[in-house]
Amino acid sequence: MSDRLTQLGFYLISRGYISPEHWQLVQHVMVQTLQQNLDQLDLTSQSQFSREIAKRLHQSFIAGWLQIPGHNIDQRLAHRFSTQQLLKLEFFPCTLSADNTLAIAVIHFDHPEITQVIHQVWPGVTLNQLSITKNQLLALVMSHRLGRLPQFCEQLRQSLLTKDFQGIDSPFVKALARSGYIANQIYQDQVDRQIWQQMEQRLTPAQQREIQGVQARTGSPLGDIMTRLGYLSELDYQDRLNQFAKLPIISMLVGTDLLEVDVQLSQTFKPREMMDHHFFPLAWVGQHSLQVVVRNPYNSEVESIIHRQFPQTEVIKVLGTERDITSLLAQYFHKDFSERAIYRLLKRAPHESAARVFTAPQLLILYGLSVIGVWLLFYHFWGTLASIMLVLNLFFVVAIGFKLILSVQGLKVRQPTHGQWETLNFNPQSLPIYTVLVPVYNEPEVIPILIEALRQLDYPQEKLDVLLLLEEKDKVTLEASRAANPPGFVRFILIPDSQPKTKPKACNYGLVFARGEYLTIYDAEDIPDPDQLLKAVWAFKNGPPNLACVQAALNYFNRDENFLTRMFTLEYSYWFDCLLPGLEAFQFPIPLGGTSNHFRTDLLRQLGGWDPFNVTEDADLGIRASQRGYVVGVINSTTYEEANCQTKNWIRQRSRWIKGYMQTWLVHNRNPWKSIRKLGFKNWLAYQFFIGGTIVAFLSSPLLWLIYFYWLLTRETWLVHLFPSWTLYLSLVCLLLGNALGIYLNITAVFRRKYFQLLPYALLNPIYWQLHSMASYMALWQLFTKPFYWEKTQHGLSKVKKQTG
Amino acid sequence: MVSVRSKNKRGSPLSPLLSNNQGAALWLLSLLTILGLSSLIMGLDWQGYMAQPTAFLGSKALLAVQGPEPSFVATGYAFPPLLVYGSALVRSPVTVQVLCGAVLVGTIVRTMGRLEVARFWQILWSALLLLHPALGLMLLRDPTWVATTLLLLITTRLLWQILYPQDLPLNFLVVLVGLSASGLMLLRFEAWWGLVFILITLWCLLWQETWQYRAAALFIVGTMCLFAIGTCVYLNWLATGNPLAFLSQPGSGIRLPGLDSFLVQAGLGESILKILRWMLQIAPVYLLVMLWLMGRTQAPLQVGLIIALPIVLLLINLWEGLYTPNLSQFGVYLALLPLLLEQLPSRQSWRKLLITLGLVLSLVSSGWVLQTNQVIPDEILLWRQLTHQALPELQPVQAYHQMTIEQRTIATYLFQMGQPQQHILMDDRLHFPILYLLHHTEGLILPHQYEFEVALEEPEQWVNLIVVAGAQSPLRMQDAVRRPLAQQRNIDPEAQEGLTLPGFKTVFDFPNYQVLQRL
């Protein structure tokens, strides 16, 4: 150890940070007292020791004293003394008050030499002695005397990163790290390097190159990289970390009765803070010490958070993995989280929740319109029917025009090419933590593929925070997930069994555990473009501050399986590649798609998460975001899913979507004037056409087709009454131009994707649209009978194998 | 390959005509064009001029809007459907004509303003183009050709961008070509044959792409165009039971009854020669610039195909027997010229002089063609009226003029007589100018109505006024009123004598029209 200290001393002296005399004193402090205290650290800790002394002598502890308003350290006072004096006598002058009392931080109380030195400077001054630990004193003196602490730390960091420097376990460096004067990361880098040296022999050259490559690109700690890549288990990592930190590991105890947890104590901290900083308070040890599970023993932020809550408390750390902390949070907060996941939006903004399907005024209007309709039919039968036809056809004409404009704009502004993220031109080292929520239910077969797809994401794995949202009772999927041996960035979140059993509820539950600055959702069968997260980060960093969400395109990997998958691909290509970019270009509200919507996590929380009572919670969230003044955009990246290949399954899925659209339309039309005020008239109108229009189109289209085919077969003349004069021309425009354009726009979307083999299938769209109508009527029925029922889509039916990467 | 793109900088300091506040200038220009065209058309109308294409569209629009029902039977087979229903939507073909004309003029001036030549040349060339009689006559008398020119301009520009990509994605351009070409299908029948040429052009333009991509592009453009053709065919079938009724039925608009005696048809080889001759006579500058562009590019075939598109349409027109010798249709080349000039750097003075010379030559030769009465009477009338010249003593021109006078006289009389209870029997398919001038359809009994046959059987009971073709009218055999009535009375319908009916007196007995009124 003395060799290492000599090296450090030589370095500091050669760079002019410290004089040889001062170094002697520093060394003296470290060898004589710091080392002594370090020996005791495992038992009592420095601060506990100092507090005990302060208590015994009825003196204040400096940390507590500084928290009193008006108390601070006047750096000018220390200039009156040499560094040699401060370090040798171990004191630091803090404040000289008007009543000639000097607050002074000391290790040894009533030291005669200190009193003498101070009185030489301020004769007759009264001393108010405050207890300070040696590390704190050292840090104070260093920061005061060196003055150039940031540069100093940078130099130190550089020296620490050189392989030949072996001063990692020097008390001096540890002290600087623990007192926060060297970033924890720097110290941990060095710890990781030591671990690397131990691990190097166990890794193949390819693995070594991979790890070093990731580190060179992202700057993440080696330990994190190795654990995320699966070359080092979290527990193993904790073991190795413990060789330096000398703290107990509790991983084996989590989930057993052996771990004593003070539930009331844990409730005093915010779960999000605990999740973000990876800690969980276990219990009080004595009156002033708090035992806390931490993942990183050098994260000084944990102490700050605890001291904000419990000043002057000694933090006794024990080590745990990220999964341990997640388990503890889930174990002790699940009721609270579950309730919040279900009722948060309903409590905060009941008017925005679909928990209530129809409001009283809506019912009144519905009944009113029905009565008027019946009355009109009774007295003006043909006139009323003709008027309905006119309105329907007018609606279709406007809707066609609207979609044409959107599509042309959408086709113009975007290209579905998948560029490399390197071209996105931002520093990969600045990448934030990215949370990926993956709600899974009864899908054990897709878990291994899902995990492989997640591994393929071109995002630093140590910055990935994947939450697998599993239903508590879904043991099959849970077992499959465990058996898949997921990498370190995957955490299992068990959703407590409760109603409604919907995806948005699971996502809301997962949101509590999310650590990422950004968050996205993938379904279990999703294969996102590898660079999707990077593109989303880029979009957020380059987007306006109120950009709350970006939606990636969805498409299908089994598109050539059968008629249904081909048509579904045509539809999705049109929706995500033409319409949504068109909506974005005009800054209209965007109803989000089922998955691959990327959020700013803080804004998502502000929005209240998803509505668990809405079966298209994503579409609802998109509109809600627009109403609150946030922007929703689209990104040029695709997630490939499994297209529904069975008609019955397809209709069930589609009925849920359309029911959700109905819910969303009803929710945001509870007070149309308010909606117009919030969205603006243009956006409101666009929303009416996009959400309301979809419902009307699917419900009315079969009626119009029926009339048409009836006329074609029978040539009944009474039908003339339904289409007088202009209505006939409008109907012809809808029939010919509407269908032609609908088909054409579908063609153009797959053309852009270069799915040439699908082009002729677009001609069959009118048949496919009838399936939509069937689903719409099913949705309408369910809206009245089972509004919150989640028609679960069966996945894994496709015979086409997914290919990741 | 010549880098056309690099020569094509927007907002260049050399394009000062519209460089400052381009948008506002364009709006102002469009407004001025709208006002100017409207005033001119109204002035001409005031002086008694009525263009046949405008009258046809106007009459069909009236029927669609006002009936009598079932109006669709009378309008469903009308060609071009896009303009018939467009006119019905805005209630007047003149509005369509003026709006399309304003956009066209705006586009011409805007394009000229972007040329990399000095302001003097921009203004001079713009003036020579806008003063060109072919363009002027087209804007004033033929909404169909104005709309066609506009779509041709868009299509050509898109095809050009496919050849020399700029900022728009290739897929998007192909999609737009499909949309604009499908519009052409609903405007000109010859475009149906021209579709093959468009597809060949597209195939050649995408020569760098895979064959699958090229096939897909053709599928896309072809599909939309076939949708348009299918729409037209379906409407015909719906209205008449014959999907191609517009080709044969009178009053479909593809051959206007008043002008069908001027129709010209020729074999393919002869057509090519004739077209070339007319091109050299009326728009030599177009051929000059075309050859110029083809000569300086590494893709002469593709450039040639793009530029030849309007020529091919004209060729098919002649080949199909739908061509009438009118100057208006050559306005297309003048309107497209700025687009071609945009692709042609003209820094050298001799080039500028040559273009100027070409434009002046076009202007002079077109004036000469008009002045020597080589075009249809409709245009001679318009030209003489615009230039305040007396009508030539040529028989066709005088006869045509006489016919227009008769139409106005009858329309005025019918308007004065037209009370709600007055029923007027006539064949609107032939006498559409009268219907257009009358400007309402109330009380009319027309061939498409169920009441028509009844009225023919017992005119003295159901009809107050009857309008039929006159004894010397070439249309008298086609008149759906005159022929059966003559047959009922055992009169030879071909005989050049007036029709008399018991219980009716003859109010007007003009060479082209006869009006009978119930006593």
Q: Two tokens at A723?
A: 């289409």
Q: Give me the mean pLDDT over the A31-38 stretch.
A: 41
Dist. CA B97–CA A134, nearest whole Å: 93
- Residues B267-307 pLDDT 10s: 888 888 888 888 888 889 999 999 999 998 889 999 999 99
User: Which chain B residues touch A720 with a CB distance below 8 Å?
Assistant: 70
Q: Two tokens at B472?
A: 């010397």
- Of residues B155 and A91, more confidently modeled: B155
Q: Cα distance from A422 to chain B (closest Cα, Å)?
A: 23
Q: Two tokens at A634?
A: 């689209």
Determine whether the interchain pair B169/A415 forms a contact, defined as Cβ–Cβ distance below 8 Å: yes
- Nearest neighbour of A759 by CB, restricted to B65, B168, B216: B216
Q: Give me the mean pLDDT over the B472-477 stretch.
A: 84
Determine whether the interchain pair B169/A724 forms a contact, defined as Cβ–Cβ distance below 8 Å: no
Residue to mutate among A414, A735, A759, A761, with most B CBs inside 10 A, is A759
- Residues A365-423 pLDDT 10s: 999 999 999 999 999 999 999 999 999 999 988 988 999 999 998 888 755 444 444 55
Percent of chain A with pLDDT over 70: 81
pLDDT for the residue A139: 64
User: Which chain B residues touch A726 with a CB distance below 8 Å?
Assistant: 65
Q: Kindly give the residue spans of alpha helices, DSSP state H, lying in B283-394.
A: 284-295, 300-319, 331-342, 349-371, 377-386
Report how many Cβ contacts below 8 Å link chain A to chain B. Answer: 69
- Of residues B516 and A443, more confidently modeled: B516
Percent of chain B with pLDDT over 70: 95
Give the confidence band of A38 by pLDDT, cuts at 50, 70, 90.
very low
Percent of chain A with pLDDT over 90: 27
Q: Two tokens at B454?
A: 């009844």
pLDDT for the residue B19: 47
Cβ neighbors of A402 (< 8 A, separation 6 or more) are: A686, A689, A693
Dist. CA A518–CA A604, nearest whole Å: 9
pLDDT for the residue A318: 83
Q: C-alpha distances in angstroms, A394 versus A330, A399, A544?
A: 54, 8, 37
* Of residues A392, A453, A455, A385, the one with CA closest to residue A720: A385
- Nearest neighbour of A740 by CB, restricted to B213, B220, B231: B231
Residue to mutate among A577, A578, A712, A728, with most B CBs inside 10 A, is A728
pLDDT for the residue B161: 93
Least confidently predicted of A197-211, A564-578, A614-628, B240-254: A197-211
- Nearest neighbour of A748 by CB, restricted to B71, B88, B175: B175
* Of residues B427, B421, B416, B409, the one with CA closest to residue B466: B427
B172 touches A at CB < 8 Å: yes
Q: Give me the mean pLDDT over the A617-632 stretch.
A: 90
> Residue A765 pLDDT more than 90?
yes
pLDDT for the residue B307: 94
Q: Give me the mean pLDDT over the B135-139 stretch.
A: 93
pLDDT for the residue B18: 42
- Residues A285-330 pLDDT 10s: 777 788 888 887 777 778 888 888 887 777 888 888 888 888 888 8
- Of residues A110 and B175, more confidently modeled: B175
Average pLDDT, chain A: 81
User: Which chain A residues touch B230 with a CB distance below 8 Å?
Assistant: 736, 740
- Nearest neighbour of B172 by CB, restricted to A411, A724, A725: A411
pLDDT for the residue A147: 47
Highest-confidence segment of A3-7, A711-715, B486-490: A711-715
> Residue B85 pLDDT more than 80?
yes
Highest-confidence segment of A257-266, B20-29, B186-195: B186-195
- Nearest neighbour of B216 by CB, restricted to A729, A740, A751: A751
Helix (H, G, I), strand (E, B) or coil at A24: helix
Burial status of residue B23 (CB atoms within 10 A of its CB: 0-12, 13-18, 19 or more): exposed
> Residue A64 pLDDT more than 50?
yes
- Residues A247-282 pLDDT 10s: 777 777 777 766 778 888 888 888 888 888 889 998
Exposure class string for B31-46: b at 16+ Cβ within 10 A, else e = eebbeebbeebeebee
Average pLDDT, chain B: 87
Q: Which residue of B has its CA nearest to A745?
A: B175
> Residue A231 pLDDT more than 60?
yes
**How do strand A597-600 and strand A518-521 relate by DSSP bridges?**
antiparallel
Residue to mutate among B63, B158, B175, B218, with most A CBs inside 10 A, is B175
CA angle A327, A331, A334 (to 5 degrees): 115
Q: Which residue of B has its CA nearest to A411?
A: B172
Highest-confidence segment of A175-184, A570-579, B468-477: A570-579
Q: Cα distance from B420 to chain A (closest Cα, Å)?
A: 20
pLDDT for the residue A95: 87
Determine whether the interchain pair B231/A748 forms a contact, defined as Cβ–Cβ distance below 8 Å: no
pLDDT for the residue A40: 40
pLDDT for the residue B181: 96
Least confidently predicted of A499-503, A677-681, B399-403, B505-509: A499-503
Q: Two tokens at A554?
A: 């969805």
Domains, chain A, with CATH or none? 2-149 (no CATH), 251-343 (3.30.300.160), 393-408+525-785 (no CATH)
Residue to mutate among A715, A729, A758, A761, with most B CBs inside 10 A, is A729
Give the confidence band of A805 by pLDDT, cuts at 50, 70, 90.
very low
Domain edges within chain B: 5-48+79-386, 397-518
Q: Kindly give the residue spans of alpha helices, DSSP state H, lying in A557-646.
A: 563-574, 580-585, 601-607, 617-627
pTM of the model as a whole: 0.77
Q: Give me the mean pLDDT over the A418-436 stretch.
A: 68
